[in-house]
Structure 1
Amino acid sequence: MIESASFDILPPMTTKGARIKQIRDKMQLTQQAFAGILGVSRGAVGNWERDQGIKEENIEVISEKTGVSYEWLATGRGSMDPNEVVAPPADAAVARQFRIPDLAIYGGMGGGGALSVMTSEKGVPLDPDDLRGYWTFPEYMVRAFRSLEGIYAWEVRGDSMSPTLAAGSVVFVDTNQNKLPPDDVYAIDYGDGLVVKSLQLVGGTDKALVISDNPKYPPFEVPRDSVTVYGRIVGWFQWRG
């Protein structure tokens, strides 16, 4: 669950390191847990809090991962801008958590949706209207991934992938895996908009087989070079009625 932390508007701190420590203290995190959210080592956080080795890209990452004002963090001017700060659970055993952006788009499983979300270099949507929120996961659930950057969640509609994926399911798409092999489930566009389908390469040809799990939709072949692959589906969530 995403909750907003309560921050006071305080006079400018004297150093960047002191402001970084203030963020960590307000989020009630150890240096190790804070480092996990930022994707850096505990030692890096310790150095930053001592005003050592702080680069501009480090300030950008901290601002983007916590929602704190970049200007305040870099210069001490203004306020922390607390509206986007995420407070972790108080239980230290689950304090280190990881977030996946939930995009305000949808992938069809029959007729396709549209994908037109602009992101920063760090993968954060630039337009607030493109972001519905975040899915938050504890560390043990994401150990198979070196980083969650490039993984996004969005809603799927239609019944062509039923019963595997029901309408209204949320899929987690790794946009770093945007090539066809191996045979798997992908977010793609073969000319009919953004859809979620199983893909298989047809050996000895330049074709790919587009497969729906719902048997009422027969598979069909398309030229491989006509398929735009946005990413591989690495997980999904759906309620069971």
Structure 2
Amino acid sequence: MATKQEAGGHQEVGHKSLLQSDALYQYILETSVYPRENESMKELRELTAKHPWNIMTTSADEGQFLSMLLKLINAKNTMEIGVYTGYSLLATALALPDDGKILAMDINRENYELGLPVIQKAGVAHKIDFKEGPALPVLDQMIEDGKYHGSFDFIFVDADKDNYLNYHKRLIDLVKVGGIIGYDNTLWNGSVVAPPDAPLRKYVRYFRDFVLELNKALAVDPRIEICMLPVGDGITLCRRLS
């Protein structure tokens, strides 16, 4: 059985599950996710559950999925835009080889530093290069430098949804051919199919159009093949073809 803390964490982020019932989601967590969850991951998840913005965290099942994906593609050089307290970042750092690298960017260092002691205790902090501030100027500089073109095996984006398309325009140059970009929240609380007059929370309604625009653009981008998965709040994987 899940502890109260684990069950409580699910209640806070349960909206992210697009399964038929919370009970079915809980079954996945208790059967497949929590028993295999790294102790550091569990510690960071429980720490994050106490934070007032815990709705922003990556769900435990998505963390497990990312870990498996990174190992399957033998990722070594990765990027993460939008870190929060670092749950998905820790999942990535644990999955990468010891000489793996993650360029991690977020506008809030304070949240990152909340989870940093757990990351350090896990022995993977040396893999992370954290940059505080907006990601777009950093990406522009990397493209201008020239040496970063096609250099990333995997890029995970879980940040400001109104900039997802702006990120994509740049990241498609930075990820290698055959590499993967993962965009989180592409089903956006299920609001992507909500009728225009549906009673949505203000932030959900505000960002919905940006998510819809991204989904349309990715679906017709000839440079990538895509797979949209109902994991967490929806994640779209884009494999660069050219």
Tell me the TM-score range normalised by the shorter chain. Answer: under 0.3
Q: Structure 1 length normalisation: TM-score?
A: 0.25
Q: Which has more helix, going by share of residues?
A: 2
Report which of the two structures shows the higher radius of gyration computed on alpha carbons: 1
Q: Which has more strand, going by share of residues?
A: 1
Q: Which has the higher contact order (CA 8 A, sep 6+)?
A: 2
Q: Structure 2 length normalisation: TM-score?
A: 0.25
